[in-house]
Structure 1
Amino acid sequence: MKKNTKEHEIDLKSWLFKFRAKWYLFVICSLIALAGAYVYVKSSERIYKFSATLLLGDQHTGSKKAQELLNLLEVQNKGIKVEDEIGLLTSTEMIRKAMLHLDFNVSYYKVSDHWLNSIGNIVVEEQYKTAPYTIKLDTNANQLVDVPMEVKMLPGNKYELTVKGKDVARYNFKNHTVLEYLPEVEFTKVLPVGQPYKDKYMSFTLLPTKDADVSPAKKHYFTINSLDSQVGHQQANLTVSPIEREARVLWLVSQGSIPDKEILFLNTLMNTYVANDLQEKNNNGRKTLEFIENELASLTDSLRQSKLALSSFRSANRIANIDVQSNISYEKLSQLEMEKARITTDKIYYQNILEQIQNGNGIAQSVSPTVAGIQNPNLNNLFLELSELNKQKAGYEVNATQKNQLLQVLEGKIASTKSSIVANLKNLIRSADISIQDVDRRMGQIEGNLAKIPENERRLMDLQGQMEFINKRYDFLLEKRAEAAISLATNTTDKKIVDHAALASVGPINVKPKMIYMLALLIGLAIPAGFIVLMSNVDNTIQGKNDLSAITSIPFLGVIAHGSKSDKLAVMNNPRSAIAESFRSVRINLQYLLSEGSFKVIGVTSSISGEGKTFCSVNLSSELAMSGKRVVLIESDMRKPTFGKYFDTHNAAGLSSYLMQGLPLEEVIQQTAVENLDIIPCGPIPENAIRLLELPKMRELLDQLKEKYDYVVVDTPPIGFVSEYFILMKHMDTNLYVVKHKYTDKTMLGQINELYAAKKIKNIYMVINDLDYSNTYEYGYKKKASYYYV
């Protein structure tokens, strides 16, 4: 297949020709688009743009005292985020609060006097404070919401109410909830003006406006709006953004058809937002003050209990001054230790004396009680007495014997005195033990008291610290309570309305007639253009010479003009027609390419049936014959003979008779009404056409005809269906391949392209059949030569 080097180039002239050929599509689509634009301009509600600006404060909002107090109470202040404030301002809850301050529960509409409204309620205008009547709702009763209710004024101070809708909500205005959905509502009632109307679905009173036009010819209707629908409508049309990055000034933009309503909504929303901010700050202040009051009440109780606990602890432990008390205990303990040491020493001394007396080592004779430190008077007297007796005994022993009675009396006294001393010593030792035990007991008490002093001191310090902490906190909260009360009384908001709502657009932002009409015109032109481009790209048939050149390298011979299907022999019956002229052109081109005597056998074929192969072969043969050449036309398509449509002939004898039965050539050739043109029809349809065409007699037939005629034209079967052409092409001197304009698929040329590329077929030329000059850019100029044709 030939590759087109200009495959991606756009032939603007060709596309313009295609568009011009379908000019009526552009006119129709443009008119429809402009009509739709007109209806849109007339029926669309005019939407305007409104704007306002709002200033946000910094993170220290409200009273400074309140902020200091909140900081002291460890409330984390993270500051204001503009995104958060935008989210709060556009939230459903904030808009809901604003809508509760507005009386937008009923919307009024008027059907304008426009010819479009004869089709339906197309041109409708909303009325705000200009309606010829007002609806006074009974908000304590349930209402049908979000459904049109048509009002038609009647004579006699009456009106006709018509309600029609599906899936209509029955709404409770007290708590703003939908009670149920009615599958279908449809009724018409005549009611008196100015009197309440109430049923199980709705309750209201229609009051006429003073000096209003309430002519019955005027069409009006109203809609009761639920709060959710109002909030959803306003929320959808509201946008909030900072005027620039990092700015704290917000730009509020709203869209709506009624300027007064939108301005009122924006101002109410900003006022609600500011009031809500102040209310939250006051709530925080009140909560802070309440918190301080609760803390003070709790601290009063705690302070009283801590003082009582400290006093009870001092009384229970007899603590006046714990430092003085500890010093006295330490002095007593020291004295007792000294006393214990003295008593222990005396005891040891008594024990030693007793041991010596009992051992009889003579200590009684040598010891001096005073020197020995014996403080007991009785014991001292006994020792003095013993000492005196021992002196007397020593004096008697110098002169007396052991048997001396006086000496014996002295020894008796000495023995009695020693017994008394021993008894006294033992008593003193026992007395010392008792004294030591008593001292140990007293020391133990003092030491126990001293051991308790750190715990008491710690406990006392804890109680004193707790009392002091509670006392300081109590004093602090007393001070802060006064500050919080002042802060609450002087609390303010730093959110401020900078610019109140105002109209921000010069005209409607949604309906701009010039732009809409221009856009409609462009759409009206673009739709048919796109359709033509799409159909051209989808259409894979041969459109002209350029298409043919893009898909094949086979030389192009000419085109056959479009004509009447009933005129089979166009070159003879209408020699001045465009078809006849096109065949002359092909004949001249063919004769120019072929040298005399060298190329006599011309084969005509096509891809499939219906492309005009037989039509071209018949008319080309007729044109050659009419030019003075002797021509014979052979119908080799023995499967589907068609010569009977062109010539008054019969198939009793023909090509099949010659090849199969051996009839003489003269019996199979038939003359036609065209001078110099003979034909050989296919004859009786054989069982196997290919086998007949493969016989040597086919070659003999062509050789005989070349001797007798100037041109032999063979009408062959199409190569896309059968294989006869591949048998016959070896006998052809020249081949004409016929394609039909806007009929032959481009993919059908693949087989002939392969033969041509492999050089298995020679001298082949392409012919485009049935080309309408008025529908092709390439040959459009031939339309101007129509006066040359008849």
Structure 2
Amino acid sequence: MKKNKKDHEIDLKNWLFKFKSKWYLFVAFALVSLAFAYVYVKTSPRVYEFKSTLLLGDQQTGSKKAQELLEVLQVQSKGIKVEDEIGLLQSAEVIKQALKQLDFSVAYYKVTDHWLNNFGDLIVEEQYESAPYLVNLDTTSYQLVDVPLVVRVLDDKTYEISIEGKDVSRYDFRQHSVVEALPEVNFKKQLKFGEPYKSKFLSFTIERNDMEDMAPGKEYFFVINSLESLVKQQQAALQVAPIEREARVLVLKTRGSIPEKQLTFLNKLMETYVARDLEEKNQNGLKTLEFIDSQLATLTDSLRRSKQALSSFRSSNRIANINVQSNISYEKLSQLEAERARLNTDKAYYETILDQVQNGNGIAQSVSPTVAGIQSPILNNLFLQLADLNQKKAGYRVTATADNPMLRKIEGEIESTRGAIVANLKNLIRSANISINDVNRRISGIESNLASLPENERKLMDLQSESEFIDKKYDFLLAKRSEAAIALATNTTDKKIVDQASMMGNTPVNVKPKMIYLLALLIGLAIPAGFIVLMDNVDNTIQGKDDLSNTTNIPFLGVVAHGSKADKLAVQNTPRSAIAESFRSIRINLQYLMSNSNFKVIGITSSVSGEGKTFCSVNLSSELALSGKRVVLIESDMRKPTFTNYFNASKATGLSSFLTQGLPLQEVVQKTQLDNLDVIPCGPIPNNAIQLLELPKMQELIDLLKDEYDYVVIDTPPIGFVSEYFVLMRHMDVNLYVVKHKYTDKDLLTQVNELYAAKKIKNIYMIINDLNYSNTYEYGYKRKAKYYYV
């Protein structure tokens, strides 16, 4: 098969012609596409986009002034994790807390008065504060949620409510949980406006308002939303991202069909997030105060008892002064006692923290150990690491399941950090025990030195030391409590609302009519174009002259125009027709091409039956006869003779009679109604057609006809079915191969292409039959020649 270098080039003019010939498809699909676009534009709910901005601080507790003044509250700065804060903002818990403060439990909808709703409830609008009625839910009773409840107005006082659905949930608004799943619900009842209704499924009151006239027969419906469904809706629409990389300003975006509703939600979400952060920090400060208060309560009684004992001892023993030596010894003893008390206090605090950490009551997340006086940098860092890990865990819980590998890894790191905290606390306790034992040893030495002092003076010094120690410890804790109270009073959140929620633009983000109509028009044009291209590529038949030249190297002779099937003798009957002109052009081209040779025998064949081989043979013979030449037409297809459809030829004698019976030439040649044109029909159908054609009598017949006629035209059988053509081919001076427009498969030309390439066939030319000039770009210009044809 020939491969033309232009095979892969796009002939735009040719494609435009094909598209133009199927213009009705483009119009039909464009109208249908635009109709679908119109329905989509009218039925799609308008969705708008909203945004707000939120600033994340540096996560310090208390005011800056308090931070600078109170050393006890100097905590190492923790860099904020923006990803964790985004996870918290998008978490179901934060969204749930915001939604609990909003009245979104009932969603109102209205079926608009539009002609499309005659085919169903296609155009439905959600109403927020503009609904003509108000549904008051009894949240103490169970309700059917997430299913439409249709309200049809009967008159000014009554209405009909109906519900129909499958897999409907009964919901408890007090616990915010599903109590029962009903496989099917079908319910209808007439009620009065303002009249409470209560059953095991529903409990509500519908009241009218004056915002809109509720005409009788008009339908509305509302949906009672469960908290979980509301959370899923808002969580799916919410997007949180930093304004730029590594920025602490977050942009919150959401989408919805009711601007007032979405603006309210977005603002409430930010308020809830900020309030939640402040509440957590206040809880941390309160826990610190509770610990100090518990220590002060214990010291208050001890201080009162020690002062009372000292006063009683001085009064009963009349002791006023202690000598210098005793003062020095007792001063050292007092210092050691104070140090031991401090060590005991630290030990008690370490043990308290250790107990709380081991009991898992959240102390690692809520209390910073430096607030109570722990000065260990390692322990402080461990607590900070644990807090960061808990923030990561909170962020992953938003989208990850419990089996998520990253979540499991973080939980493992949390347990490892907790273990390190416990080990450090135990080490601090052991260190405190060692220090206490050392102080006790030193105290014992001083006490042994004081044993020689008078008993009263020693007791007095003991009472004074105890009183001073308790007093100092009390003052110390009292000061720490004041500092913690100041920090709590000056506690502020590091989160700040920068911009309140606002709508982005005034047009919906999901429905843009101009763009949708343009896209629909393009789709409406692309579908038929694609269909035409697909069918053209799937169609393997001969489409025209260029298509034929890309399929074979055999020279092209001409085309035969499309005409009526009833007019088989077009050249004779309508000599001014397009078909007659086609054969006239083929005759002239053939004579021009063979002008240098004395050709007389013309063989005409095709690939398969139905391509118009016999039609071309008859009409080409007629055209040669009309040009003044004596022509004889031989019907060599003795398997399927068709000459009787063209001529009043007798079947009694013919080619088979000459070859088998040896009849004289005059008896097998039959005259036609056209001068100069004789025919030799096939005659009686033989059983051995190919053997007859191989006989020497066939060559004898050809020689006799050459002597008497100017041209001998042989109508041969199609080469795709039988082999007679290859037997007759040696008698022919010119071979014409007929292919039918949009009928002949390109693969059928393989055999004749191989013969031509092997030079086993001479003087062969291609003819395209039944070509409709109106359906081809190559000969479209001939449509203008209709005035020349009759």
Q: Distance in 2 between matches of 1:187 and 1:176?
A: 24
Q: 2:237 — aligned with what? A: 237
Given the alignment of the two structures, is residue 620 of structure 1 paired with residue 620 of structure 2, yes or no?
yes
Q: Distance in 2 between matches of 1:55 and 1:466?
A: 57
Secondary structure of residue in 1 paired with 2:94: helix
Matches within 5 A, 1:200-211: 200-210=200-210
Report the CA distance shift for 1:460/1:47 in structure 2 as closer, same or farther (over 3 A).
Answer: closer
Given the alignment of the two structures, is residue 173 of structure 1 paired with residue 173 of structure 2, yes or no?
yes
Contact 1:69 1:484 in 2 (8 A): no
Secondary structure of residue in 2 paired with 1:183: strand
Residue 524 of structure 2 aligns with an amino acid whose one-letter code is: G
TM-score (norm 2): 0.75
Report the CA distance shift for 1:605/1:75 in structure 2 as closer, same or farther (over 3 A).
Answer: farther
Secondary structure of residue in 2 paired with 1:122: coil
Matches within 5 A, 1:309-708: 461=438, 463-464=440-441, 480-595=480-595, 598-708=598-708
Equivalences, count: 638
Q: Distance in 2 between matches of 1:662 and 1:181?
A: 99
Residue 722 of structure 1 aligns with an amino acid whose one-letter code is: V
Contact 1:656 1:685 in 2 (8 A): yes
Secondary structure of residue in 1 paired with 2:737: strand
Residue 280 of structure 1 aligns with an amino acid whose one-letter code is: E
Q: Distance in 2 between matches of 1:252 and 1:626?
A: 90
Contact 1:109 1:127 in 2 (8 A): yes
Report the CA distance shift for 1:558/1:286 in structure 2 as closer, same or farther (over 3 A).
Answer: same
Residue 645 of structure 2 aligns with an amino acid whose one-letter code is: K
Matches within 5 A, 1:49-60: 49-60=49-60
Q: Distance in 2 between matches of 1:119 and 1:17?
A: 40
Contact 2:58 2:78 in 1 (8 A): no
Q: 2:86 — aligned with what? A: 86
Moved more, 507-516 or 28-37: 507-516
Q: Distance in 1 between matches of 2:71 and 2:537?
A: 75
Secondary structure of residue in 1 paired with 2:778: coil
Residue 484 of structure 2 aligns with an amino acid whose one-letter code is: A
Q: Distance in 2 between matches of 1:637 and 1:66?
A: 116
Shift of residue 299, structure 1, vs aligned partner = 11
Q: Distance in 1 between matches of 2:710 and 2:61?
A: 112
Secondary structure of residue in 1 paired with 2:770: strand
Q: Distance in 2 between matches of 1:463 and 1:481?
A: 29
Tell which structure's C-alpha radius of gyration is larger: 1
Q: Distance in 1 between matches of 2:51 and 2:437?
A: 71
Contact 2:274 2:496 in 1 (8 A): yes
Per-residue deviation, residues 438-483 of structure 1 (Å, max 9, x unmatched): xxxxxxxxxxxxxxxxxxx999626458999x99999977654543
Q: 1:40 — aligned with what? A: 40
Contact 1:62 1:494 in 2 (8 A): no
Q: 1:7 — aligned with what? A: 7
Contact 2:70 2:483 in 1 (8 A): no
Residue 120 of structure 1 aligns with an amino acid whose one-letter code is: G
Root-mean-square deviation (CA), in Å?
3.2
Contact 1:60 1:79 in 2 (8 A): no
Report the CA distance shift for 1:512/1:597 in structure 2 as closer, same or farther (over 3 A).
Answer: closer
Q: Distance in 1 between matches of 2:443 and 2:703?
A: 139
Q: 1:222 — aligned with what? A: 222
Contact 1:66 1:484 in 2 (8 A): no
Shift of residue 491, structure 1, vs aligned partner = 1.7
Report the CA distance shift for 1:117/1:459 in structure 2 as closer, same or farther (over 3 A).
Answer: closer
Moved more, 564-573 or 473-482: 473-482
Report the CA distance shift for 1:33/1:473 in structure 2 as closer, same or farther (over 3 A).
Answer: farther
Contact 1:65 1:487 in 2 (8 A): no
Q: Distance in 2 between matches of 1:755 and 1:243?
A: 75
TM-score (norm 1): 0.75
Residue 49 of structure 2 aligns with an amino acid whose one-letter code is: K
Contact 1:561 1:769 in 2 (8 A): yes
Residue 2 of structure 1 aligns with an amino acid whose one-letter code is: K
Per-residue deviation, residues 268-306 of structure 1 (Å, max 9, x unmatched): 0100111111122223333444566678899999xxxxx
Q: Distance in 2 between matches of 1:633 and 1:225?
A: 90
Per-residue deviation, residues 314-334 of structure 1 (Å, max 9, x unmatched): xxxxxxx9xxxxxxxxxxxxx
Matches within 5 A, 1:217-296: 217-290=217-290
Shift of residue 65, structure 1, vs aligned partner = 9.5
Secondary structure of residue in 1 paired with 2:4: coil
Q: Distance in 1 between matches of 2:707 and 2:255?
A: 94
Secondary structure of residue in 2 paired with 1:54: strand
Secondary structure of residue in 2 paired with 1:500: strand
Secondary structure of residue in 2 paired with 1:484: helix
Given the alignment of the two structures, is residue 212 of structure 1 paired with residue 189 of structure 2, yes or no?
no
Residue 598 of structure 1 aligns with an amino acid whose one-letter code is: N
Q: Distance in 1 between matches of 2:233 and 2:443?
A: 62
Residue 135 of structure 2 aligns with an amino acid whose one-letter code is: I
Contact 2:57 2:248 in 1 (8 A): yes
Q: Distance in 1 between matches of 2:772 and 2:442?
A: 115
Q: Distance in 2 between matches of 1:80 and 1:507?
A: 37
Where does the alignment leave 5 or more consecutive residues of structure 1 unmatched? 302-320, 322-456
Residue 719 of structure 1 aligns with an amino acid whose one-letter code is: I
Contact 1:65 1:483 in 2 (8 A): no
